[in-house]
Amino acid sequence: MFISLFAFAHGSGSYIFAIFDEFASNFSLVLIALFELLAVSYVYGLKRFHDDCELMTGKRPSMVILLSWRYISPILLLVIILATVKQFSVEITYDAWLDDHMESKEWPTWCVILGAILVGCCTIWIPLIMVLNIFKVYLLPKEELSRASFPIDELRDYHGLQEDGGRQFGRWERVLFGFTNDDDY
């Protein structure tokens, strides 16, 4: 309520909205998507996620999907992040309505700082939770964590999959992703 009184009561509401739109939406989502891809592909393990997808759907993800998760999407997201940072470092402008025409103006320093705070508020949780997990500090009680489960046996029965994990990976899966037929997570 305070922000709306401050922003919209004095005729600057569209500018406050532009700050949120410019900084908080796109850049934060791309950063979060990159962290998710890296976590699934490299920390959790693409083979483990591959097996989980097979358990949930009954089919293996295609080679194109695996290539996208492992290589293509992280590279493209990194390019987008670098291009955005380069664009922000050159000049950050907004369109202002002056009498009878639109003019491009540079954001004041406090707006850029507010934008950085907005991006930080959205993305700080990823490295914070990672550091807490490294030091074995959990935000939820142990009994809450133990209730989370993945119904492996029920899904294997439903999709008719073998319990021994005797899936044989093809040559390209072994070469491109490092999958082996005798991996024990």
* pLDDT tens sequence for the chain (185 residues): 555 555 555 556 677 777 777 777 788 889 999 999 999 998 888 888 888 888 888 888 888 999 999 999 999 999 999 998 888 777 788 777 777 888 888 888 888 888 888 889 888 999 898 899 889 888 877 766 666 677 777 888 887 877 655 566 777 777 777 777 665 44
Asked whether residue 3 is assigned to any structural domain, the reply reads: no
Asked whether residue 87 is assigned to any structural domain, the reply reads: yes
Domain total in the chain: 1
- pLDDT for res 72: 95
The one-character DSSP state at 140 is S
Asked whether residue 135 is assigned to any structural domain, the reply reads: yes
- pLDDT for res 147: 62
Q: Tell if the pTM clears 0.75, that is, is over it.
A: no
Angle at which helices 109-123 and 125-134 pack, to 10 degrees? 40
Asked whether residue 184 is assigned to any structural domain, the reply reads: no
Is-contact 179 54, C-beta < 8 A?
Answer: no
- pLDDT for res 35: 92
Asked whether residue 154 is assigned to any structural domain, the reply reads: yes
Question: For residue 165, is it left (φ>0), alpha (ψ between -120 and 50) or beta?
Answer: left
Is-contact 30 77, C-beta < 8 A?
Answer: yes
Amino acid identity at 169: F
**Whole-angstrom distance, CA of residue 86 vs CA of residue 73:** 20
Asked whether residue 79 is assigned to any structural domain, the reply reads: yes
- pLDDT for res 185: 46
Asked whether residue 6 is assigned to any structural domain, the reply reads: no
User: Domain span at residue 159?
Assistant: 11-177
Asked whether residue 111 is assigned to any structural domain, the reply reads: yes
